[in-house]
Chain A
């Protein structure tokens, strides 16, 4: 009787040892710096997640539809007014767009006259967010585009509202994008109001910390921040967010602050991947 229980204990000990060994192997084999391309096992997991993503898509779109119906009833008057305002705004923007197109043609002509390098064309690939990150320590999302669609590690991900992040891992038909609010993400930025250069870093709390590098520049609450294009990773001019808090640590130091991104990462569905050669001067 005692030997049976001892045997049972021994087998449990070996089983647990096996699990721990497997975990250590995973720790070493799949460590973040090992490879930027997804391993076979990871690819399998990403493929398995695709049907889950499809179901998730249906569930979340159904939830959105139900919410919309409730909102229609409660906010019909406000929506009607908003619709009228938006129509007026659309006319204004159409005029502005026409003018900008004229400027673009002129700019292109002048650049050719000055024999400046032509800007590189950017490929915008539409992608859908299959799954969000289930953990609180990493802010990332699984996208339905991968190596087969021309996506590679380091490609930039943007949404209609602004910058989303960067592709960090690629499988054949899916990829993982790291959001700018993640603590491992650093982006070179410029303050739109005064052109001050700095960088932002995710603070792991849905916001980003901004540190200015320009010595005599100031930072104000409400300032808009765009990508600077320095460092050749992110193209310049992509909207990032708005400053919601700012301070100066010491009299002789530069301004620091907190930036709230324009993109709502919890409701992200459609994104664009800027792949291929990037031109930081854009």
Chain B
């Protein structure tokens, strides 16, 4: 119950932060896409299926807010969550560099999925492809920088929570 409330609260805070405050702090007019980061983190923390579900929901919300490319956003964020989770479960396992690689692979896969499913977006950037490449690269960089931090923070909290409950259990015993 506590954990679900924490997840809902985190997503709500991310949403408020993403649509209200982030546009003011953009770097080269590119803001971190927190929906990719949430999907990637969900994949790393709870596995590929959970990552895919969170990615699907995040993508739909993002598409609805943007007004266009609904399915494309959904596919892209679903891919991010699934790829990061699958990479952690099947190949990388537990390692201190795992969040970093998962975030990198997940966000790159997300960008690729976006371009593949939205050819009209690729066409619109045909005269200035450097802008599209720069944007995608900065988005991936944001995801790589932020996702491991969020995952490590979550693990740190969980560790504290578990150790607290262990102490409580010992006291009861």
Contacts and interface: CB of A to CB of B under 8 A. Distances in A.
Interface of A: 12, 15-16, 19-20, 22-32, 42, 45-46, 49, 52-53, 55-57, 59-60, 63, 131-138, 140, 142, 168-169, 176, 178, 183-184, 203-206, 265-267
Given A15-B49, A267-B24, 15 more contacts: A26-B71, A46-B64, A49-B64, A52-B15, A56-B16, A132-B20, A133-B65, A136-B31, A136-B138, A137-B66, A138-B68, A183-B125, A204-B124, A204-B131, A205-B131
Given A59-B16, A60-B20, A205-B131, A138 B67 contact: yes
Interface residues of B, number: 54
B139 A132 contact: no
26 contacts: A12-B49, A19-B52, A19-B56, A19-B78, A19-B82, A22-B56, A27-B72, A27-B117, A30-B70, A42-B70, A45-B61, A46-B64, A56-B19, A56-B20, A57-B20, A132-B20, A133-B65, A135-B65, A135-B66, A136-B33, A136-B135, A137-B121, A168-B68, A204-B131, A205-B131, A265-B23
Contact of B23 (A16, A49, A176, A266): A266
Q: Which residue, B15, B59, B135, B138, has most C-beta atoms of chain A within 10 A?
A: B15
- Nearest first, the 6 A-B pairs at minimum CB distance are A27-B71, A56-B20, A176-B67, A45-B64, A30-B70, A26-B71
A259 to B, nearest CB: 15
Contact of B71 (A28, A63, A203, A265): A28
A12 B35 CA distance: 23
B19 A131 contact: yes
B33 A52 contact: no
